[in-house]
Amino acid sequence: MKADIHPGYGLIKATCSCGNVIETKSTLGKDIVIEVCSACHPFYTGKQKILDSGGRVDRFKKRFGSRKL
């Protein structure tokens, strides 16, 4: 393996749109701005909305549920 061909691996700050700052390591070399993080993403905060896509399972059971093998 050649020496001194890999980029530097240093600390950067990832700043979320909600204001949360996450310190991590990266070869990017500059701070980044992200749109969502674990502090504001609906899946992690528990504010996730589950939408029923038109009752597709019920529609399937209605069409094919009474059939015997």
For the entire predicted model, the pTM comes to 0.57
Q: What pLDDT score was predicted for residue 54?
A: 66
Q: What pLDDT score was predicted for residue 69?
A: 65
Q: Which domains does the chain have, with CATH numbers?
A: 10-64 (4.10.80.400)
Q: What pLDDT score was predicted for residue 15?
A: 96
Quick: pLDDT tens for 12-62: 999 999 999 999 999 999 999 999 998 888 777 777 666 666 677 788 888
DSSP conformation letters of 43-67: HHHT-PPPPP-SSHHHHHHHHHTT-
